[in-house]
Chain A
């Protein structure tokens, strides 16, 4: 039967049959969890927070369009495990908890007793994405890091600038 359809359609059909995934990102609940953890890692202060510069959307894009299935599935499962554990321990979803409780949960994930649990692995991956998404954002590059693209020369032993904050 397949030999009757045009080649392109056949190829597309083949992809669908072999489990080709239609683009699909985070669920609303997963987005809330990612936002909550991201802003606990990089909270708003005199500089923007992670969600202020669109880190949630960045994570969503990576999940939807960048990760291969073998990375995406355990990552999502790990996020869901964090959410389930939060609910069973505290009776509420991560975003509904107070800041102190959120910090406690992130603290336990940040230095986990066992790095191999699905939760610890997903958190570690998420933290890397959050940091990368934050520091590559236009606003942080421009207003926080004051990145310059052009230089008159390369300096290999320049002095450190004064710290922004003591």
Chain B
């Protein structure tokens, strides 16, 4: 069935980047259709204020539901007893991997996508990141530098509101910060000790997060209730449904169509352009074609690549816009989780009040000034400190009245911990392809993911443990214990690459404007576009790229060249 209306723009996906594409396109005058594979969500669906005692399993989760519907998704911390509804049913949404290369693909199909459940940490990249591929030769040279994206970071940050503290670090540029959240007394102490011990090279700062510490653009400040991953009734952290989509709606030019599974981008060989998309209605299973002047893919790294691979034509038998043959290659995720923890003696007269939806961040310090002997690139660290409270009771010796009183009145000692988030080298064999036989509920070929940690990642993981442990010791911690991550690729949910930007058409899939080299009215602005993955949480960079790409597209339309 072909829709008669032709839209100015189609956006595939309504999450972090889809929302931004919708906002920027509509505000610049384009009538925009946003297609979301999942169903609608409203604030009434949020479940962050349900106390444990109102959950049957008090937060442990219903094992039968998890086994049945979320055997993979349940491995994500946010797929919990009440929040699992923001994660896909694994039976409807299969993917495959080689037997010896596990991959965790955590997905949310609903209006808002994963912006409902995301970790909210936002860190600008720097030229240390944009120049990395060119300098050490792994991957291709980025077609842009920090100066190209810096104003777009500001544009995005001012709108969504981010909290943080300026540190004036060249490898971690400051942003447009709302007031920072407080560090704990132990974190403040550790920051000073670590600064002194490492000659100012290692900086522990309060996390930078897309959470409001004051009223911002009509959204209320955070109320520090805790489980952001279950939603936010006051939209105090950034999500597309609380921020960009309402802005797009306000223009009167947005049409949002949930339950719209995009099966392929349709190519018109006569004009060498994308004509539109073929959608399968998730409920009726009916095929519908939508047409537009420009198409933005914002479906998430793996989904956008999968969609392009599935968009085959005589001109592009191996996937749309794949003249380079690089579509699906150089897939990355952050390898993360190795680090250390320790006890911090003292400070027993102090406690925290409220649940801080944020932690501490230690800016990258490896391979910033001097090369490390074991690995290229680097890692940032995330962590925090707390007193264990009654939670320590299960392992605390004792029983009876004294034991109970100690758990009610005492909070236990302070613990400080941190883990690394490491950059993965872009490798051509870390790859997304289509499974020739396995299909999802809508008959679309499943993604086959072959992504592996390699030598550089393993060497960096080992150093994360050393790096954190020596800082904790410098901070004065006792009983410092290291932990080694066993997280497979995908687990960090920072999947990137597969349709990388490049300086030449032979060297990538997209140009410096996130625009397909082969199909001029086709843009990919989610994580698929990334040519390297740095070590910073990537979402803010996708948002900046999206806004920048829209500005370019609309400019070309207005000049009559698109």
Contact = CB atoms under 8 A, between A and B. Distances in A.
Interface of A: 40-43, 45, 47, 58, 61-62, 65-66, 68, 103, 106-107, 110-111, 124, 127-128, 131-133, 135-138, 141, 144-145, 149-160, 163-165
B28 interface: no
B404 A47 contact: yes
10 contacts: A45-B401, A131-B390, A135-B407, A136-B52, A141-B51, A149-B226, A156-B183, A157-B185, A157-B352, A159-B350
Contacts of A152: 223
Contacts of A144: 408
B98 interface: no
Contacts of A158: 350-353
B349 interface: yes
Contact of B223 (A61, A127, A141, A150): A150
Nearest to B408: A144
Interface stretch (B55-63, B197-205, B479-487): B55-63
Contacts of A145: 390, 408
Given A58-B58, A136-B53, A103 B353 contact: no
B354 A110 contact: no
Contacts of A127: 393-394, 399
Interface string B515-531: 00000000000000000
B371 interface: no
Given A41-B399, A41-B400, A165-B409, A157 B51 contact: no
Interface of B: 49, 51-53, 56-60, 62-64, 181-185, 187-188, 213, 223-226, 348-356, 390-391, 393-395, 397-401, 403-405, 407-409, 411
A131 B187 CA distance: 29
Nearest to B405: A165
B399 A61 contact: no
B406 to A, nearest CB: 10
B395 A128 contact: yes
B350 A61 contact: no
B57 A66 contact: yes
B47 to A, nearest CB: 13
Contact of B63 (A45, A65, A110, A153): A65
Contacts of A131: 390, 393-394, 407
Given A149-B51, A155-B353, A159-B350, A45 B404 contact: yes
B188 A157 contact: yes
A15 B181 CA distance: 51
A156 B57 contact: no
A66 B399 CA distance: 26
Contact of A43 (B390, B395, B400, B411): B400
Which 6 residue pairs of A and B lie closest in terms of their CB atoms, listed nearest first? Answer: A128-B394, A151-B354, A131-B393, A156-B182, A157-B185, A156-B184
B399 A160 contact: no
Contacts of B60: 62, 66
Contacts of B348: 160
A157 B353 CA distance: 8
B332 to A, nearest CB: 33
A153 B350 contact: no
